[in-house]
Structure formats: structure tokens, C-alpha cells
Structure 1
Amino acid sequence: MPHLSISGLCKAFGKKKLLDGLDLAVERGECLVVFGGSGSGKTTLLRHIAGLLEPDAGTVLIDGQRAGDVSAQQRGVAMAFQNFALYPHMTAFENIASPLRARAIDEARIARQVQEVAELLRIAHVLDHSPRQLSNGQKQRTSLARSLVHKPQMILLDDPLRNVDAKIRFEMRLEFPKLFKAFGSTVLYVTQDYREALALGDRIGVLVDGCFAQIDSPAGVYRNPQSREVARLFGDPPINLFEVTPQRGPGGAMQVQIGGQTLVLPDPCTGLQGRACVLGVRPEDLLFSTEAQPGALPVTMEAAMPINVRTVALLKAGDGAELLASRPEDPVLAARRERLGGFATLVPGRCMFFDRASGARI
């Protein structure tokens, strides 16, 4: 039996539908990242699980029991918010201890559990500080410690890294998986940052138009997106998308027209001849070379920019169609400021095709 089971969940505020027949099953101890854009219903979903909202339709089961039949305090669910939500008149210690005091736990046990979670999150040295004396990173850790201190069966994290700086976000992406495993809790983690989703989730649920467009492993979502919309949401630089109609060319190879010029596809593309579709190619799967390649697309490199340890090149085909290519760090290429003629080819086995009308993966 899944730890969390949601079926047909619907919620609307006025005429706006945020959840529309949403289904989800999460296993005990799993970390599922709920990923989606602003206003997609991510926080609304968490609030239903926490018992803060009643659904218009559908059910939420925790350990097979209807969540609505159990008081919010007895569900074994803790929630941390993106705005920290710390009590300003309490010290960090008292903020963390507040869920234990609400359960009338004895003071010795409160002190022990607060100290344990504070050491785990590296904030033991600021337990006597008020929230105004804490950095944003310390506030975020204090908020998380308050959620973890009573060792909940399930933790709901509502975009907890949104209000901290890039350095803290990077550090916490490394620390969170260890924390989750240490507590053994089931985790639902909400974010609109695809990097966090790929780094933290055992699985990722991509929330689009009120329901999950795809629930899969991080590798599955990135490498095998089931729709054009899912493919578009993951990746920086973003996936290249071209409206094409594959045709069989000389020698039997399948080819498409991009920028008014012909590109030979490296894959068989069985059943796609003459079909109106969208070709998706991630930048790392588009190769750029200054040497002519059989079946390659003639392009001009308009610009190049180093990103971490890769160089991203903006390529332009004959009639102005733009393509993004990513390759291992190339200081010489990245330093160029003038145009450079060359050729683009695709990595075999990495082409994605989507139906042009529905956007579904073919």
C-alpha cells in the first residue's frame, strides 16, 4: 500500500481550476518532487495533504485512511514554507521546540531532540538567536528543523530554497538527500527550479494544467519526456524544437527541412514519413563542427558563451532558424566574437518527435 494515495483530486477557486482530477501514489520513504510553474497548483496540493484545505472532489489517503477523517495534528505530516514562517518573538530554539510543546512532551526530551536536529542542520550555535538575528540560510534551516524535530512520517516542503541565495541553494541541494535518508520520512518537495527537481527527486511529478503530465525518474523526465511541454520545461539552455515533416531522401535516409535547408536524421524514424510533427533536440545532442559532414546542416555560429564547464553556441541556419548547441568547454570557441561557418549534426538515438497538434511524444 502506498504511503500516500491521491485519486481524482479537484480544487477550484472561483472560476480558476488549480487541480483537475489529479492522481498520485507515493511510496513510504520516497522523495517525490512536485515540479511546475507559478500558479500550477503545487502549494494547493500540499495544503490538501496537510489538511489545510478540503477538496472539491477526490480523495487523499494516508496509509489507506482518508486524510479528511483524521485531524491535521494526527496525520504525522509536517510542512515547511518558502517564507520560513518563524515566530518573531521566539528564539530559534523555541521555534524548533514549538511542535514538541504542542504535544506536551517533557522538557528534557524537548531539549535533546532540538539539539539533535540543530546539530544535524548545523545551527546549534544560533539556537539562542531571534529570527531577526539569523541569516536567510539560518532561517531556512531553523524552519526545516521545526518540521523535522518530531520525526514526522511525511514532510511537505513548499519551495524551501526559493528565498535563499545561490550558494545556500547549492549547499542544501547536496545536504537534503542525506537529511531525508537520516529521518526516513516520505518527502514531497515542491519547486519551480528544474535543477532542484533533477538533483533531489527519486521521482519527479511534472504538474501541468492541474494534473501530472508525467511522473518519472529524473533521467526519465529529462531523456524521455512524454510531451513537448515536459521537454520544454527541463534544460538550460532549452531544448531545440522545430516543426518538421520527415521525408525519405536519396539512399533511403530520412531527412527534414530546417531553415530552408536539409538535415539528414541519424535515426530510422519508422512511421514518421509525411507526418506533421515537432523535432526536439537538446543542445548537448546537437554537434557543431567547422568540417563538412555528410548530411549535416550548414549553419553559421552567431555567438558562443561559456556556461560552467560547457560552451553554448548559437547557430543560425539558411533562412534564419536558430539552433542551440552545447559542447564540452571550448575556450577558443567561446572567445570568438566573429561569425564562424560550420555544420550541425544530431547525435544518433537522441532525436525526440512530438505530435504537432497534441504535443504528445510519438
Structure 2
Amino acid sequence: MSLKLTDIVKRFKTETVLDGVSLSVGRGETLVLFGPSGAGKTVLLRLIAGVVDPDGGTIEIEGRDMDGVEPEDRGIGMAFQNFALFPHMDAMANIASPLTARRTGREAIAETVGKVARMLKIDHVLHHKPKELSNGQKQRTALARALAGAPQILLLDDPLRNVDAKLRFEMRLELPRLLRSQDATVIYVTQDYKEAMALGDRIAVMNGHGIQQIGTPEDIYLRPANIEIARLFGDPVINLLDVVPEAADGSGGVQVRLSDQPVALVGGYAGTVGTDCVLGLRPEAMRFVDPGTPGAIPVEVEAETPLNEKTVTLTLTQRGREIMVSRPSGMPGPDQGTAYVAVDAKDALLFDRATGQRIAPGAHSPALQEDVA
């Protein structure tokens, strides 16, 4: 089923939690709601489910306005953070409850519950009651219940939050396959950017009472709408350096300076020359190079941290600005003293320093002052 929200407003007393939120989700699509705690993600799910009513705007499912439609009549499956398991039922009965309500046959129930329970690795606790389950097992039981009903719209509120790291990684691989097989329209809430990128066909980044950006995982990571989103996606965090672009001598292009060395910007930023900007460089978009390499930027190595699959090096520019450089684990690199780095200019991002908004190539930014990078 398709889902469409238009200008949704929700207030609690004098606090506005959601202000003019609009989005649409296509049939069979998984949309991830991503953002910090308090951004309104769970409230938005509850509005869609019909648990609470909006103070403004419309919610449509398959083109039908949900105003006045009860939760049980919306064809929605839910798994919320508070589990909401029936305490007097064992895990199997909890998972089977949507099937039992539809009077599904006993054999079909056993087959469906067993399949979902094995996938979520809770088949060994099916006869335990909620009070006997760990929080992680409760969370997976609530998720299994939502999946077992094969709803046309599935609302998942951070369903892997209490799951251990190994199973969480496995579920990032398994869940997309299961969701595709059910052809459900899915709204998935998480605060884990890796989970958002792994599970979402699209990601809606929420903050400040609304949605700041909607796009594919690639769009969000490579073309974040603003500095705030750029910081939320990536580990280690993106390097952000105050710069003022300048015209490159003789080439007609635009450049910025790091350690007094010119770094060319790719894509046509002529409108930003002489304005206050912020240069965004992902740590993996930088690499150590030999002295004398064209475009090499001198830095001082401060510290090195191995992080399993990668090694992160903290460096300082000649003006004392911190730059983190990431390289695959096992790849050689300097661990002290003077070193040189090169920038993959095509991956550089430019933001308006005053507003924090990303400047698209060819656009103009209205700031002004001196370069302090």
C-alpha cells in the first residue's frame, strides 16, 4: 500500500513536536526515519498507526484519508520500543496473535511463527513468557509479531535497539530480504546511521520539528543538505574547515587553501569566490602521499587509532586545524612527524558558513570575509 502524509502538525500542550511534515512512501518501499532522540520519529509512527491524532494535516493510505479510521482498520503492523507484549502469553502466542485474530489454521501459524522466530534467533524461547525474556529477546518477539502478520504497512520503531552487535549486523543483512519478500511498505526508525544506510531504499532525516532531507542513502551521504546532516553520517565524522574560495590563477576555476596549499574545487563554484564557506572532507576522501606529489598538503601527525577495518589518523594543518584521514586497515601510513595528504576534490563538499546549507555546484552563496583555514 502507498502512504502519503501532507503538512502534518502535532503538538503536546505548548510544545510543537512536528510542524508541517510531508512525505510519501511507495508500495513495497522501505523508508527509514533517521534523526536524534526527540526529533519526533516515534510520534510520527504513532500518528500513522492512528494511536494519536494529528493537530493538522492529512494521512492517506492508498489515497484514502485516515481521519476517523481506527488503528485496527488501517492494515498496519507495528513493533514499538516498549515491546507491548501480552504478559500472560508465551512468545509463540504473542507472535501468533495477529494470525490467531484472523483465524489462521494451526499448521500455518506454526510454520509462520517458526520461520520468523528462526530468522530472529528466538526459536529456543518460544515457550517463555515475556517476564522470562531479556530485553533483546522481547524486542525480537515484538518484531516477529509484526512480521508474522504480513501487514501491508509495517511500522518498526528501532526494532534492533536492544539486540547484541553480532545479531544486529546479521539482521541488517536478513531484514531487507524478508521485507522485500513480504512486499510490505515499511517505515523504519533508527538512530544508527549504518543501519539507516543498510536498510533504507530512502532515508528521511528528521530534526527541528520536521524533515530536513529525503533521499537515497547515497544522496544523504554524498550530498547532505546541510552541515548537521553531514556530521550525522560517517564514522569518523566529516572534516569541516572554514574557507573562503578564491579564483585559481589562469585556470578559470575555484580553489581553497589548506596549509597554504591550493585545493581545486570541482564542479563550478564561481559564485562563491570571496564568500565565507565551510569545506567538508570525508576522512576516506583523503590519502597520504609522497612529498612532492602534485597537490600535496603538509600536515603534522598527532595520533593514530586502529578501528578494525580501518586506521584513522589525526593530523594538524600548518594553521593548527584538525584533519582526520582514514585508510583501510593494513595499508601503510605515517604514525608521527610531518606527512603529506592529498584530497579527492570531486568528493569535497562546500557549505554556506552562515546558514550551514550545502552549496550545489554552480550555485551562489551570500557570505563574505577572510579565509581562516
Structure 1 length-normalised TM: 0.91
**Is residue 286–residue 344 contact of structure 2 (8 Å, CA) maintained in 1?**
yes
RMSD: 2.2
Residues 180-199 of structure 1: per-residue CA shift (max 9 Å, x gap): 01211111000011000000
Cα distance, 1:123 vs structure 2: 3.4
Looking at structure 2, the residues matched to 33 and 182 of structure 1 have their Cα atoms a distance apart, in angstroms, of: 18
Looking at structure 1, the residues matched to 109 and 347 of structure 2 have their Cα atoms a distance apart, in angstroms, of: 54
- Change in 2 beyond 3 A, CA 1:331/1:135: farther
Deviates further, 239-248 or 95-104: 95-104
Cα distance, 1:92 vs structure 2: 0.9
Partner of 2:256: 256
Partner of 1:303: 303
Letter in 2 for 1:353: L
**Is residue 33–residue 188 contact of structure 2 (8 Å, CA) maintained in 1?**
yes
Letter in 2 for 1:244: V
Letter in 1 for 2:306: P
Query: Which of residues 358, 362, 365 is equivalent to 1:361?
Result: 358
Partner of 2:244: 245
**Is residue 34–residue 205 contact of structure 1 (8 Å, CA) maintained in 2?**
yes
Letter in 2 for 1:296: A
- Change in 2 beyond 3 A, CA 1:244/1:141: same
Gaps of 5+ in 1: none
Count of aligned pairs between the two proteins = 357
Looking at structure 1, the residues matched to 258 and 11 of structure 2 have their Cα atoms a distance apart, in angstroms, of: 42
Percent identity of paired positions between Structure 1 and Structure 2: 49
**Counterparts in 2 of 1:12-31, with a 5 A limit?**
12-31=11-30
**Counterparts in 2 of 1:134-173, with a 5 A limit?**
134-173=133-172
Cα distance, 1:107 vs structure 2: 4.8
Partner of 1:286: 286
Deviates further, 56-65 or 280-289: 280-289
Structure 2 length-normalised TM: 0.89
**Is residue 247–residue 270 contact of structure 2 (8 Å, CA) maintained in 1?**
no
Cα distance, 1:326 vs structure 2: 1.0
**Is residue 264–residue 296 contact of structure 1 (8 Å, CA) maintained in 2?**
no
Partner of 2:270: 270
Residues 125-177 of structure 1: per-residue CA shift (max 9 Å, x gap): 43222234444443333211111222110110001111122112111111111
Partner of 1:349: 346
Letter in 1 for 2:35: G
Letter in 1 for 2:326: S
**Is residue 137–residue 168 contact of structure 1 (8 Å, CA) maintained in 2?**
no
Partner of 1:118: 117
Looking at structure 2, the residues matched to 315 and 325 of structure 1 have their Cα atoms a distance apart, in angstroms, of: 8
Partner of 2:38: 39
Looking at structure 1, the residues matched to 13 and 262 of structure 2 have their Cα atoms a distance apart, in angstroms, of: 49
- Change in 2 beyond 3 A, CA 1:342/1:118: closer
**Counterparts in 2 of 1:47-126, with a 5 A limit?**
47-103=46-102, 105=104, 107=106, 109-126=108-125
Letter in 2 for 1:161: L
Q: Does 1:318 align with 2:315?
A: no
Q: Does the residue aligned with 2:271 lie in a helix, a strand or coil?
A: coil
Looking at structure 1, the residues matched to 257 and 347 of structure 2 have their Cα atoms a distance apart, in angstroms, of: 18
